[in-house]
């Protein structure tokens, strides 16, 4: 008899941001396949005796291949187990969810998707700012800062990303932001556009730094550090809390 897979969005890392449904699935799981950013105190909700399998991917580090992760999900579920695939933030946002869904569908295994707090929303809340502003920021756009090769994607819409009326959030973009900014400035983005670097959101190492896009690009060209991060830029609100600048 086939098991069942629950894709659970764990939020940014703070276990208090887990949904009630997410906690229920973790407590009932026979096996949990988790990302690096979904580990730590979040896994305290898993019952004793459940299998814990780390399958996270981090830039610049050795990581399991995606086909291996997908096959693990199929193998565990084929044994009749209740499986949780624990992903950071929300599973459907830069989480390679589709590839794992296809593997389960091809194997005839049922699943559900439980949304989590997206890291961008958690970071904005931690910074004490809204992502939209009346009259000046009516649009929010999310973009990944690297492709499958770990480099800046060559098919991104630079005109849209240089829109001065949009608040832009760059995921996984610390290494490529200097190159991205050079392209954005060529498309008209001012060098003094406000920016925020949000690192390790929802953890004890959380930090928020306010800067300009040019200042942030200069900082990251010298040292990207090891913390996972989001980059915000655009007409960002001046109010805020917890900044390190």
In a domain, 42, yes or no: yes
Domain count, the chain: 2
pTM of the complete model: 0.89
Output the pLDDT for position 58. 58
DSSP code, position 89 = B
What is the arrangement of strands in the sheet containing 207-212, beginning at the earlier edge strand?
139-144, 166-171, 229-233, 194-199, 207-212
Q: Are residues 136 and 64 in the same domain?
A: no
Output the pLDDT for position 245. 56
Output the pLDDT for position 157. 93
Output the pLDDT for position 154. 86
In a domain, 149, yes or no: yes
Q: Are residues 44 and 73 in the same domain?
A: yes
In a domain, 162, yes or no: yes
In a domain, 41, yes or no: yes
Q: Are residues 227 and 211 in the same domain?
A: yes
In a domain, 244, yes or no: no
Pairing of strands 229-233, 207-212: unpaired
In a domain, 123, yes or no: yes
Output the pLDDT for position 87. 95
Angstrom distance (rounded) from CA 66 to CA 14: 26
Residue at which a domain ends, from 114, 144, 161 = 114
Cβ contact 125:131 at 8 Å: no
DSSP code, position 11 = B
Per-position pLDDT tens, the chain of length 245: 579 999 999 999 899 999 999 999 999 999 999 998 888 899 999 999 999 999 986 555 556 788 999 999 999 999 999 999 999 999 999 989 999 999 999 999 999 999 999 999 999 999 999 998 887 888 999 999 987 777 888 889 999 999 989 999 999 999 999 999 999 999 999 999 999 999 999 888 999 999 999 999 999 999 989 899 999 999 987 767 667 75
The residue whose two tokens read 């299998």 is: 51
Output the pLDDT for position 57. 67
The residue whose two tokens read 């005796």 is: 49
Q: 10 Å Cβ neighbour count for 185?
A: 16
Q: Are residues 94 and 149 in the same domain?
A: no
Angstrom distance (rounded) from CA 207 to CA 110: 39
Q: Are residues 19 and 62 in the same domain?
A: yes
Q: Are residues 99 and 74 in the same domain?
A: yes
Q: Are residues 65 and 129 in the same domain?
A: no
Q: Are residues 10 and 69 in the same domain?
A: yes
The pair of three-digit structure tokens given for residue 89, joined into one six-digit string: 């933030």
Q: Are residues 82 and 19 in the same domain?
A: yes
Angstrom distance (rounded) from CA 61 to CA 131: 31
Output the pLDDT for position 134. 82
Residue at which a domain ends, from 114, 147, 168 = 114
- CATH number of the domain bearing residue 82: 3.40.1010.10
Q: Are residues 137 and 102 in the same domain?
A: no
In a domain, 13, yes or no: yes
Q: Are residues 75 and 147 in the same domain?
A: no
Output the pLDDT for position 45. 96
- What residues make up the domain containing 194? 119-233
Residue at which a domain ends, from 88, 114, 140 = 114
Cβ contact 200:225 at 8 Å: no
Q: Are residues 150 and 217 in the same domain?
A: yes
Angstrom distance (rounded) from CA 139 to CA 185: 20
Tell me the CB-side half-sphere exposure of residue 24, using CA atoms within 13 A.
4
- CATH number of the domain bearing residue 229: 3.30.950.10
Q: 10 Å Cβ neighbour count for 40?
A: 16
In a domain, 208, yes or no: yes
**Cα separations (Å) of 34 from 12, 20, 49, 55?**
13, 18, 16, 6
Provide the annotated active-site residues.
Answer: 35, 57
């Amino acid at each position: 008899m086939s098991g069942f897979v629950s894709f659970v969005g764990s939020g940014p890392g703070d276990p208090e941001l887990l949904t009630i449904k997410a906690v229920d699935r973790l407590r009932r799981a026979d096996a949990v396949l988790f990302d690096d950013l979904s580990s730590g105190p979040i896994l305290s909700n898993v019952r004793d005796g459940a299998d814990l399998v780390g399958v996270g991917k981090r830039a610049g580090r050795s990581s399991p291949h995606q086909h291996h992760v997908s096959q693990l999900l199929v193998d565990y579920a084929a044994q009749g187990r209740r499986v949780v695939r624990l992903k950071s933030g929300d599973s459907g946002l830069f989480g390679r969810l589709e590839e794992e869904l296809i593997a389960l569908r091809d194997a005839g295994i049922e699943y559900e998707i439980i949304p989590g707090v997206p890291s961008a929303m958690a970071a904005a809340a931690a910074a004490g700012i809204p992502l939209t502003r009346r009259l000046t920021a009516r649009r929010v756009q999310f973009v990944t800062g690297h492709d499958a090769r770990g480099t800046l994607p060559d098919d991104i819409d630079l005109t849209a990303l240089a829109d001065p009326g949009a608040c832009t959030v760059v995921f996984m973009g610390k290494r490529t932001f200097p190159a991205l900014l050079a392209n954005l400035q060529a498309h008209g983005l001012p060098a003094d556009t406000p920016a925020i670097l949000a690192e390790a959101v929802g953890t004890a190492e959380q930090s928020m730094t306010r800067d300009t896009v040019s200042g942030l690009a200069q900082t990251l060209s010298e040292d990207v550090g090891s913390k996972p991060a989001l980059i915000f830029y655009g007409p960002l609100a001046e109010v805020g809390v917890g900044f390190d600048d």
